[in-house]
Amino acid sequence: MPLVAGVDTSTQSCKIVVRDAETGALVRSGSAKHPDGTEVDPQHWWDAFQEAAAAAGGLADVAALSVGGQQHGMVTLDADGRVIRDALLWNDTRSAPSAEALIAELGDGNRAAGAQAWADAVGSVLVASLTITKLRWLRDNEPENAARVAAVALPHDWLSWRIAGYGPAGDPTAPLGPQLDKLFTDRSDASGTGYYDASTGLYRPDLLERALGRVDVVLPRVVDVAEAGAVAHPTVAGSAVDHSTGSGSGCLIGPGAGDNAGASLGLGMTPGDIAISIGTSGVVSAVAPKRTADGSGAINGFADATGNALMLAVTLNAARVLDAAREVLDVDFDGLAELALQAPPGSDGLVLVPYLEGERTPNRPDATGTLHGIRLATSTRPHLARAYIEGMLCGLADGLDALRAQGVSVERVMLIGGAAQSPAVQRIAPQVFGLPIGIPEPGEYVADGAARQAAWVLAVADDPDAGAPAWSTTIATTLDADPKPVIREQYGAVRDLS
């Protein structure tokens, strides 16, 4: 029974699942926390990976593994493989002015032309999340650090590199040393950098130069969807694996994936499927045969982990909107749901535009949240609880509308993420979206997708024509459509007043 491991190095934690490569059955798992913040020393990711691996019973018997991770983060390395400064994460918005500058430059001063030019070039209009904007910020604000950059990696690239035994010179946990040319990545994560075009499979050094001012830096090699990028160092994983079938020795490391692409693979999404994820960020994702080039910036045209495109509308404000509501009302999640369901749809006109941390879709990094329709009759705890939940879901519904406007097929909708288990979210979501919604069995979808990719890599090592393993995804709950137009109508009337 070959075993594979899937790693999710997310914003908040590192989670590892070990699964049977053939059936996908869960064998064991482990996790460890990451520190809070929008800039983090990557050493914390390495420490958390080791802690999570130990909690999962070790990885000595794992034949292949793959790493899914938070997209866009900027990890800069010097010539000795050392991290130059703390990594800027996807949710660090300090590079918003840099994004606007790059857009204007590519459009010769015309923002609309520049926005469309970026969408045509890489599938996305630049926002502060994308790596390229963070490199421009580094060049402009920390020129000494920018001058030291010898390689640029994404969080999952860097962790895969460390698992393979590479790392900073002199570090005993990096026995193979700082071989920067051994960095590798996949199409899905590369497509979120702003300097890689997934439609051609090529980096855009001309765009990288616009940001960093030079191109003499190492970028991770982009490997194919089921290609092994490296072999894990035996001190980390695979020391007990004996590949008697001829697929090699040690634990193969898959290409990895951005978190949304990993979740898509874990859910078994195909064209026509929509996933609405309510986590740290809110994501409406769709698998499509090819990416779009949405010059409005509402939709990002990324790649998935199978060779298709992955279209995303992303909001910065999702589950943490519910956290804010709990703080305001001094209740737990169950209490918040109970309160919200006491108020009617539309909360009698009380509407929250939940831009509590700025926003990405729409691109309003400096926006703040606004509560509209406050009257004596709506100044109750149930009205406030419902307004927070409705506002969060309306932001995601706008993302679904944007996908439809780009011609993306909507055949099946799935609601995932921790907040999807809330009784209030489950009741209100079909009212906001007006569609039937399936809720899969709770799971670690990113880690599960990484594990499925690892199983695919293992299969291809023995049979080059092997496809992704047919692991099943169980829909635990199906919610009937229950449209309440008043919710979206009220939200639409005030959304742009914030």
| pLDDT range class, residue 280, cuts 50, 70, 90 | confident
Residue 72 annotated as lining a ligand binding site? yes
Are residues 478 and 420 in contact, defined by beta-carbon separation less than 8 angstroms? no
Are residues 274 and 288 in contact, defined by beta-carbon separation less than 8 angstroms? no
CATH architecture of 3-259: 2-Layer Sandwich (3.30)
Are residues 56 and 30 in contact, defined by beta-carbon separation less than 8 angstroms? yes
pLDDT of residue 436: 94
Are residues 226 and 453 in contact, defined by beta-carbon separation less than 8 angstroms? yes
Region for residue 66 given its phi and psi (left: phi exceeds 0; alpha: psi -120 to 50; beta: otherwise): beta
- Report which residue type is found at 45: W
Beta bridge partners of 31: 15
d(CA 421, CA 15): 19
| pLDDT range class, residue 248, cuts 50, 70, 90 | low
pLDDT of residue 87: 98
pLDDT of residue 121: 97
CA torsion through residues 145, 170, 9, 228, sign: positive
pLDDT of residue 361: 82
Asked whether residue 155 carries a pLDDT value surpassing 60, the answer given is yes
Residue 34 annotated as lining a ligand binding site? no
| pLDDT range class, residue 409, cuts 50, 70, 90 | confident
Beta bridge partners of 281: none
- Report which residue type is found at 386: R
d(CA 133, CA 102): 8
Cα-based distances in Å from 249 to 118, 232, 236: 43, 10, 14
With pLDDT > 90 as the criterion, what percentage of the chain qualifies? 85
**Residue 259 bears catalytic tag:** yes
Dihedral pair phi/psi, residue 439, rounded to 5°: -115, 110
Mean pLDDT in the chain?
A: 94
Q: Per-residue pLDDT tens for 463-486?
A: 999 988 988 788 889 999 999 999
Q: Per-residue pLDDT tens for 38-82?
A: 999 999 999 999 999 999 999 999 999 999 999 999 999 999 999
pLDDT of residue 463: 92
Lowest mean pLDDT among 206-215, 306-315, 358-367, 472-481: 358-367
Cα-based distances in Å from 220 to 30, 290, 302, 354: 28, 23, 17, 37
Are residues 253 and 164 in contact, defined by beta-carbon separation less than 8 angstroms? yes
Lowest mean pLDDT among 42-46, 64-68, 227-231, 440-444: 440-444
Asked whether residue 247 carries a pLDDT value surpassing 50, the answer given is no
Asked whether residue 498 carries a pLDDT value surpassing 80, the answer given is no
Break the chain into its structural domains and give their ranges: 3-259, 268-436+480-498
pLDDT of residue 316: 87
With helix as H, strand as E and coil as C, how does the chain read? Answer: CCEEEEEEECCCEEEEEEEECCCCCEEEEEEEECCCCCEECCHHHHHHHHHHHHHCCCCCCEEEEEEEECCCCEEEECCCCCECCCEECCCCCCCHHHHHHHHHHHCCCCHHHHHHHHHHHHCCCCCCCCHHHHHHHHHHHCHHHHHHCCEEECHHHHHHHHHCCECCCCCCCCCCECCHHHCEECHHHHCCCCCEECCCCEECHHHHHHHHCCCCCECCEECCCCCCCEECCCCCCCCCCCCCCCCCCCCEECCCEEHHHHHHHHHCCCCCEEEEEECCCEEEEEEECCCCCCCCCCCEEEECCCCCEEEEEEECCCHHHHHHHHHHHCCCHHHHHHHHCCCCCCHHHCEEECCECEECCCCECCCCCEEECCCHHHCCHHHHHHHHHHHHHHHHHHHHHHHHHCCCCCCEEEEECHHHHCHHHHHHHHHHHCCCEEEECCCCHHHHHHHHHHHHHHHHHHCCCCCCCCCCCCEEEEECCCCCHHHHHHHHHHHHHC
Lowest mean pLDDT among 151-160, 196-205, 489-498: 489-498
Across the range 305-309, mean pLDDT stands at 94
Region for residue 344 given its phi and psi (left: phi exceeds 0; alpha: psi -120 to 50; beta: otherwise): beta
| pLDDT range class, residue 246, cuts 50, 70, 90 | very low
Asked whether residue 198 carries a pLDDT value surpassing 90, the answer given is yes
Angle at 127 between CA 126 and CA 131, to 5 degrees: 80
- Environment class of 36 (CB within 10 Å of its CB; exposed 0-12, middle 13-18, buried 19+): exposed
Annotated catalytic residue: which of 259, 273, 348, 398?
Answer: 259
Q: How many CA atoms lie within 13 A of 488 on its CB side?
A: 17
- Classify strands 252-253 and 62-69 as parallel, antiparallel or unpaired: parallel
- Report which residue type is found at 265: L
CATH architecture of 268-436+480-498: 2-Layer Sandwich (3.30)
114-141 in b/e form (b: 16+ CB < 10 A) is bbbbbbebbbbbbbbbbbbbbbbbbbee
Q: Per-residue pLDDT tens for 161-189?
A: 999 999 999 999 999 999 999 999 999 99
Across the range 26-36, mean pLDDT stands at 97
d(CA 431, CA 434): 5
d(CA 415, CA 424): 13
